[in-house]
Homo-oligomer: A and B are copies of this chain.
Amino acid sequence: MTAIKYYWEHFVPGWEYVSPARSLSAQEITAFAREYDPQTYHTDEEAAKATPFGGLIASGWQTCAVAMRLMCDGYLLQTSCIGSPGLDEVRWFKPVRPGDALRLHSTALEQTPSQKDPRRGTVKFRWDVLNQNNEVVCRMVARQHYRRRSPAQ
């Protein structure tokens, strides 16, 4: 178990984190897609050329999953996070191609104390996934529940 460094109180609106870059190889893209999203443009480099994308692209779900991993490595595993009720928005703006250098830019938007449990709170985040050209390829608006360092009075 990693020690908890950051509780709900830490994520004040405006808090930001930018991760190091991580890329997906063609092999990682097709392996994920064969398991979870076997559409041609995700599984077959040759056949993908004839699709509107003109070549192999990552499943949008894999882009989200990579963002999650960058978050875990960057800060989430050091927090009191106890899950997520969901997302208000997911947008896939640009295709992610093999070798694209993906970074996560996480921004805290809102901090809400739990109405039910004084030991918990929720944070709303924007999670942008950027590529090597600083284009936002994917945007998510999400909520996560965290334990508080100190219970609400």
Contact = CB atoms under 8 A, between A and B. Distances in A.
Contacts of A86: 60, 89-92
Contacts of A83: 41, 52-53, 92
A21 interface: no
A66 interface: yes
B92 A89 contact: no
Contacts of A88: 88-89
Interface string A39-83: 111000001000111000001110011101100100011000111
Interface of A: 1, 35-41, 47, 51-53, 59-61, 64-66, 68-69, 72, 76-77, 81-92
